Amino acid sequence: MNEPVLKIENLTKTFTLGKRKIQPLSNLDLEVKRGEFTAIMGPSGSGKTTLLNLIGCMDKPTDGRIVIDNMDIARLPESQLCKIRRDKIGFIFQNFNLLPYLNARENVELAMELAGKFKEQRKQRAKDLLATVGLSGREQHRPQHLSQGEQQRVAIARALANDPVLILADEPTGNLDAANKQEIVKLLADLNQKQGATILIVTHDEKVAAHTRRMLFLKDGKIIDEKQGSKSSPS
Ligand SMILES: Nc1ncnc2c1ncn2[C@@H]1O[C@H](COP(=O)(O)OP(=O)(O)OP(=O)(O)O)[C@@H](O)[C@H]1O
Ligand SMILES: [Mg+2]
């Protein structure tokens, strides 16, 4: 339980736009332990998405260390980053990012196919994962025939497909109405509590963050404050 899944030290990210430099993250430190459910909050433009993209191996830091599951990813070549992204990280996005021409089961299966899992194993696991997120009987539906909340459930099933050590969710409830928002955040809290999933969620919404156990506040490139969420347990 106490083992860090993610350890970030002195993380700096600078973007250069012509002569202008923007540094959303400067010397940021962060540690996330296995089994934690953590929210990252902060004003628009404070670097939340930049941070998640760096942790998720979608971009490279300018400086600093990012250690995921005991592997320093900051200087790895793209081919290795690709594998870490596929095998260790599950992503959940604000706009779901499902492939429109694949049905729910195929969207979940695709993640496993890319990881080299066999067809029969993939099919069964996709079915089981869709059941876990409350979508039994919807396996054959394409995204356009699912509600927004259901689409996000498929995306959550997909994020779980390769049994990642860390799930990253960038404003996963940002496109949902109040009822769906509650359902999705409860589902994430459940996955954390019952299956021990380690989840890092970016949100503007205090009601969403209140479901986590730990809230971090990002400002001026650093984590400036930390609070225990109301769902903190003594474990
Ligand atoms: N690829 C990029 N090139 C240049 N600047 C970028 C790039 N990505 C982000 N930025 C800048 O970095 C800063 C942080 O952006 P980021 O998207 O991480 O903020 P955020 O906290 O996620 O904001 P929001 O809450 O609006 O999603 C912003 O000033 C943004 O314009
Ligand atoms: Mg963002």
Domain residue limits, the chain: 4-228
For the ranges 72-86, 98-112, 126-140, which has the lowest average pLDDT? Answer: 72-86
Q: Letter for the amino acid at 235?
A: S
Q: Determine if ligand 1 sits within 6 Å of the CB of residue 203.
A: no
**pLDDT at 200 (0 to 100):** 98
d(CA 54, ligand 2 centre) in Å: 13
**pLDDT at 234 (0 to 100):** 47
**Closest ligand relative to 205 C-alpha:** 1
Asked whether residue 179 carries a pLDDT value surpassing 90, the answer given is: yes
Q: What percent of the chain has pLDDT over 90?
A: 92
- Mean pLDDT value of segment 191-215: 94
Judge residue 110's burial from the number of C-beta atoms within 10 Å of its C-beta, 0-12 exposed, 13-18 middle, 19 or more buried: middle
Atom of ligand 1 nearest to the CA of 59: 1
Per-residue confidence at 75, pLDDT binned at 50, 70, 90? confident
Separation between Cα atoms, residue 105 and residue 20, nearest integer Å: 45
- Mean pLDDT value of segment 202-222: 94
d(CA 53, ligand 2 centre) in Å: 10
Q: Determine if ligand 1 sits within 6 Å of the CB of residue 24.
A: yes
Q: Determine if ligand 1 sits within 6 Å of the CB of residue 44.
A: yes
Residue owning the nearest CA to atom 19 of ligand 1: 45
Atom of ligand 1 nearest to the CA of 16: 4
Residue owning the nearest CA to atom 1 of ligand 1: 15
- Which has more confidence, 105 or 230? 105
**Mean pLDDT, the chain, integer:** 94
Q: Determine if ligand 1 sits within 6 Å of the CB of residue 46.
A: yes
b/e map 48-85, b = 16+ CB within 10 Å = bbbbbbbbbbebebbebebbbbeeebbebeeeebeebb
d(CA 170, ligand 2 centre) in Å: 7
Report whether 67 contacts 10 (CB < 8 A): no
Q: Determine if ligand 1 sits within 6 Å of the CB of residue 15.
A: yes
| Residue carrying the six token digits 């290795």 | 80
Asked whether residue 91 carries a pLDDT value surpassing 70, the answer given is: yes
**Closest ligand relative to 44 C-alpha:** 1
Give the DSSP letter of residue 160: H
Per-residue confidence at 225, pLDDT binned at 50, 70, 90? confident
Q: What homologous superfamily is domain 4-228 in, according to CATH?
A: P-loop containing nucleotide triphosphate hydrolases (3.40.50.300)
**pLDDT at 233 (0 to 100):** 52
d(CA 24, ligand 2 centre) in Å: 11
d(CA 47, ligand 1 centre) in Å: 6
